[in-house]
């Protein structure tokens, strides 16, 4: 049912769906004080408390290919593959494996992810290589005898892992669309693991931060430790060489044997043995039976754009389209970026969408997910009837909508476009930073803690504060719900934007804002990435925002209408995106909030 391609002419359908009076903003919203000159957004506000951008980084331009990822080494790998004659899928596969070496906090072979692919002719595909619950998993496996959640059990250690999907996903993608040999696209990752790479400062800090956990969860192992001394006296520093000999051997097995190099033989034996030793659940049989799934993309119009995004098992695509549809009738450009009315409409959209996520979304191979109804204008109109300019809607009064008959910030995203215009948008993860922190003995890679993305008990929030229900309950072989939102936009039938980010529950709202920053506020791709972000997820009923994202006027106006606002001490999103400019040049935009890097030529 959700496998149908869903196409709507959004504007025509939803115009009139929202009562006209509701498009009238309260008088506190001034008309826009921003202007666009030569496609570059300029913020003009007399309020010095606003700094719309995290940094003034400018995008990387190229005509022949672009790769934007979380790590400079991985982006360079992708670029080299493109230059060697590989297409976007070859480069994406090479980047996924390179990230598994140079970005162990989220890049992975022990996790899973989602790929949205649009070929040069405009045909779109999505690949679900999300992890699955092991065959011995049970609905209440994280509850004690009184039915209470056992803290940390779904987050840390062997029991927290689902059956990894990344290797099979890459095998599938390459088999169907790759041009270069499998061995060639694997080689850069093998080299990075065997010869080592120089840690960035962020890499070093990340590994130092988890040293205590590494020692506790992996007794007797020395993976990712500069020294096994318990005290923090010997730690990693920027420029240190990280060599991963066992991981290099694992990658060579995958290089030589394809999926069998991971799901069977030595790697599978080591993984299953690790699980037995640590009282985890994954067996060799679970590994052998894992397969990634091609799914029909969700596609929908937003004004003159066609949005191609990920269907369930991720909630990201459905939620993104719901939010875009809620806000489409409103004159955001006229109101201006992060003006009170703009923000109010967006918060109210986010609130309703996350309530729906909790109620309806889960693995479509196990539960009926009413995708087309959830993004239909009639349904969305009904969901908007309690919207009021005067007052924030109370999340306690917002439940998932009614349909007749009837989710660490340490994920990672990368975007690739090749010379021909083939485009790949991939978000992949171990879930929390460094996943379960279990390193497979003899194989040298981190396992995911993706089981926490299930609703371990209805109504009890997961590590992202997301609440779920029966639709996302644990069952053997079932995929846990995700928020990952790899997305591609077309304009006039041509490739326009490749977008995505990590950020757990904040992924969807960051993607949403980044897209609107370009198409509604006229920002360049890099400006849209640099722009400060905010987030609301229904529960808890508050809007978090990056420092400087809102002017005092916006804060006062929103607070006056009952919105609870909380300034973050950390940041939102680590976007890696590509925009095709009107002259056909690619603008690669990487997030200045971390080591993200765009490389193009
Ligand atoms: N593990 C985060 C997500 O899939 O949404």
CA 434 to the chain's CA centroid = 16
Distance between CA atoms of 424 and 584, rounded to whole angstroms?
A: 17
Is the CB of residue 478 less than 8 Å from the CB of residue 366? yes
Written as six digits, the tokens of 141 are 């496996």
Distance between CA atoms of 272 and 282, rounded to whole angstroms?
A: 6
Tell me the three-class secondary structure of 247-314, residue by residue. HHHHHHHHHHHCCHHHHCHHHHHHHHHHHHHHCCCCCHHHHHCCCCEEECCEEEEECCEEEEECCCCE
Answer yes or no: is the C-beta of 452 below 6 A from any ligand 1 atom.
Answer: no
Angstrom distances, CA of residue 280 to CA of 154, 205, 540, 544: 11, 29, 32, 36
Closest of 576, 577, 421, 574 to residue 498, by C-alpha: 577
Atom 3 (ligand 1) nearest CA: 482
H or E, element range at 93: helix 88-102
Candidate of 169, 407, 428 to mutate for ligand 1, largest count of ligand atoms within 8 Å of Cβ: 407
Q: What is the mean pLDDT of residues 324-346?
A: 95
Candidate of 161, 426, 453 to mutate for ligand 1, largest count of ligand atoms within 8 Å of Cβ: 453
Distance between CA atoms of 466 and 539, rounded to whole angstroms?
A: 7
Q: Which numbered atom of ligand 1 lies nearest the CA of 130?
A: 4
Written as six digits, the tokens of 467 are 């609440």
Q: State the pairing for strand pair 305-309/487-491.
A: antiparallel
The verdict on whether 411 is a catalytic residue reads yes
- Which pLDDT score is estimated for 311? 98
Q: How far is the CA of 160 from the centre of ligand 1 (A)?
A: 14
Answer yes or no: is the C-beta of 411 below 6 A from any ligand 1 atom.
Answer: yes
Q: What are residue 53's DSSP bridge partners?
A: 531
Answer yes or no: is the C-beta of 428 below 6 A from any ligand 1 atom.
Answer: no
Distance between CA atoms of 265 and 167, rounded to whole angstroms?
A: 14
Answer yes or no: is the C-beta of 412 below 6 A from any ligand 1 atom.
Answer: no
Q: How far is the CA of 254 from the centre of ligand 1 (A)?
A: 25
Answer yes or no: is the C-beta of 407 below 6 A from any ligand 1 atom.
Answer: yes
Is the CB of residue 433 less than 8 Å from the CB of residue 105? yes
Q: How far is the CA of 331 from the centre of ligand 1 (A)?
A: 32
For the stretch 246-295, pLDDT in tens is 999 999 999 999 999 999 999 999 999 999 999 999 999 999 999 999 99
Answer yes or no: is the C-beta of 108 below 6 A from any ligand 1 atom.
Answer: no
Q: Which numbered atom of ligand 1 lies nearest the CA of 505?
A: 5
Answer yes or no: is the C-beta of 410 below 6 A from any ligand 1 atom.
Answer: no
Handedness of CA 187, 191, 193, 199 (dihedral sign): negative
Q: Which numbered atom of ligand 1 lies nearest the CA of 452?
A: 1
Answer yes or no: is the C-beta of 161 below 6 A from any ligand 1 atom.
Answer: no
- Domain boundary assignment for the chain: 2-59+296-409+484-574
Written as six digits, the tokens of 24 are 């009238």
DSSP label of 31:
P
Q: What is the mean pLDDT of residues 391-403?
A: 85
- Which pLDDT score is estimated for 232? 61
pLDDT of 37 higher than 50: no
- Which pLDDT score is estimated for 469? 85
pLDDT of 95 higher than 60: yes
Atom 4 (ligand 1) nearest CA: 482
Q: Which numbered atom of ligand 1 lies nearest the CA of 432?
A: 1
Handedness of CA 324, 20, 554, 36 (dihedral sign): positive
Candidate CATH numbers 3.20.10.10, 2.60.120.260, 2.30.30.90, 1.10.246.130; the one for domain 2-59+296-409+484-574: 1.10.246.130
Written as six digits, the tokens of 601 are 């030529």
pLDDT of 40 higher than 90: no
Q: How far is the CA of 448 from the centre of ligand 1 (A)?
A: 11
Answer yes or no: is the C-beta of 431 below 6 A from any ligand 1 atom.
Answer: yes
Is the CB of residue 317 less than 8 Å from the CB of residue 487? yes
Q: How far is the CA of 66 from the centre of ligand 1 (A)?
A: 25
Q: How far is the CA of 40 from the centre of ligand 1 (A)?
A: 33
Answer yes or no: is the C-beta of 128 below 6 A from any ligand 1 atom.
Answer: no
pLDDT of 347 higher than 90: yes
Answer yes or no: is the C-beta of 32 below 6 A from any ligand 1 atom.
Answer: no
Answer yes or no: is the C-beta of 361 below 6 A from any ligand 1 atom.
Answer: no
Answer yes or no: is the C-beta of 483 below 6 A from any ligand 1 atom.
Answer: yes
Note if the pTM is more than 0.85. Answer: yes
Q: Which numbered atom of ligand 1 lies nearest the CA of 507?
A: 5
Q: Which numbered atom of ligand 1 lies nearest the CA of 480?
A: 4
For the stretch 421-444, pLDDT in tens is 999 999 999 999 999 999 999 999
Select which of 126, 313, 327, 411 is catalytic: 411
Percent of the chain with pLDDT over 90: 85
586 three-class SS: strand
Is the CB of residue 354 less than 8 Å from the CB of residue 537? yes
Q: How many CA atoms lie within 13 A of 519 on its CB side?
A: 24
For the stretch 96-151, pLDDT in tens is 999 999 999 999 999 999 999 999 999 999 999 999 999 999 999 999 999 999 99
Closest of 305, 354, 415, 391 to residue 66, by C-alpha: 415
- pLDDT bracket for residue 228 (50, 70, 90): confident
Q: How far is the CA of 511 from the centre of ligand 1 (A)?
A: 14
Q: What is the mean pLDDT of residues 543-549?
A: 94
Q: How far is the CA of 96 from the centre of ligand 1 (A)?
A: 17
């Amino acid at each position: 049912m959700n496998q149908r391609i869903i196409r709507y002419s959004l504007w025509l359908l939803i115009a009139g769906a929202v009562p006209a009076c509701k498009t009238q903003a309260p008088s506190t919203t001034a008309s826009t004080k921003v202007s666009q000159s030569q496609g570059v957004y300029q913020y003009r506000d007399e309020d010095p408390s606003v700094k719309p951008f995290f940094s003034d980084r400018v995008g990387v331009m190229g005509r022949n290919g672009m790769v934007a990822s979380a790590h400079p080494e991985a982006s360079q790998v992708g670029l080299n593959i493109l230059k060697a004659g590989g297409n976007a899928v070859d480069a994406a596969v090479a980047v996924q494996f390179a990230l598994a070496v140079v970005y162990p906090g989220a890049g992975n072979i022990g996790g899973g992810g989602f790929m949205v692919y649009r070929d040069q002719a405009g045909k779109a595909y999505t690949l679900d290589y999300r992890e699955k619950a092991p065959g011995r998993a049970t609905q209440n496996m994280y509850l004690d005898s009184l039915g209470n959640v056992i803290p940390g059990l779904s987050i840390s250690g062997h029991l927290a892992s689902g059956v990894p999907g990344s290797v099979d996903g890459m095998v599938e993608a390459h088999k169907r669309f790759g041009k270069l040999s499998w061995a060639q696209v694997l080689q850069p990752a093998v080299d990075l693991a065997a010869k080592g790479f120089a840690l960035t400062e962020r890499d070093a800090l990340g590994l130092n931060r988890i040293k205590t956990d590494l020692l506790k969860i992996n007794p007797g192992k020395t993976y990712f430790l500069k020294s096994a001394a318990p005290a923090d006296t010997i730690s990693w520093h920027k420029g240190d060489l990280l060599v991963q000999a066992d991981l290099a051997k694992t990658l060579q097995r995958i290089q030589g044997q394809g999926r069998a190099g991971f799901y069977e033989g030595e790697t599978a034996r080591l993984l299953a043995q690790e699980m037995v030793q640590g009282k985890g659940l994954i067996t060799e049989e679970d590994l052998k039976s894992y397969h990634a799934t091609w799914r029909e993309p969700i596609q929908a119009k937003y004004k003159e754009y066609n949005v191609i995004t990920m269907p369930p098992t991720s909630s990201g695509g459905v939620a993104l389209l719901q939010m875009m549809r809620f806000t489409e009738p409103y004159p955001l450009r006229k109101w201006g970026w992060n003006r009170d009315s703009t923000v109010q409409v967006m918060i109210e959209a986010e609130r309703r969408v996350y309530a729906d996520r909790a109620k309806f979304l889960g693995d479509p191979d196990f539960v009926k997910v009413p995708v087309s109804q959830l993004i239909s204008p009639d349904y969305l109109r009904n969901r908007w009837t309690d919207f009021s300019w005067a007052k924030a809607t109370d999340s306690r009064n917002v439940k998932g909508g009614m349909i007749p008959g009837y989710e660490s910030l340490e994920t990672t995203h990368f975007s690739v476009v090749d010379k021909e215009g083939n485009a790949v948008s991939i978000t992949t993860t171990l879930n929390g930073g460094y996943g379960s922190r279990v390193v497979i003995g003899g194989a040298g890679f981190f396992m995911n803690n993706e089981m926490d993305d299930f609703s371990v008990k209805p109504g009890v929030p997961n590590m992202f504060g997301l609440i779920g229900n029966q639709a996302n309950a644990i069952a053997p072989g079932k995929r846990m719900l995700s928020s990952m939102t790899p997305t591609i936009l077309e304009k006039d039938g041509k490739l326009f934007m490749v977008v995505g980010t990590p950020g757990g529950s904040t992924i969807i709202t960051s993607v949403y804002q980044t897209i609107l920053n370009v198409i509604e506020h006229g920002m360049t791709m890099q400006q849209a990435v640099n722009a400060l972000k905010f987030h609301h997820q229904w529960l808890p009923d508050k809007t978090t925002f990056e420092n400087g994202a809102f002017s005092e006027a916006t804060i006062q106006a929103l607070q006056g209408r009952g919105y609870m606002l909380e300034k973050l001490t950390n940041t939102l999103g680590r976007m890696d995106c590509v925009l095709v400019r009107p002259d056909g040049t690619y603008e690669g935009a990487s997030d200045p909030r971390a080591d993200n890097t765009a490389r193009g030529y």
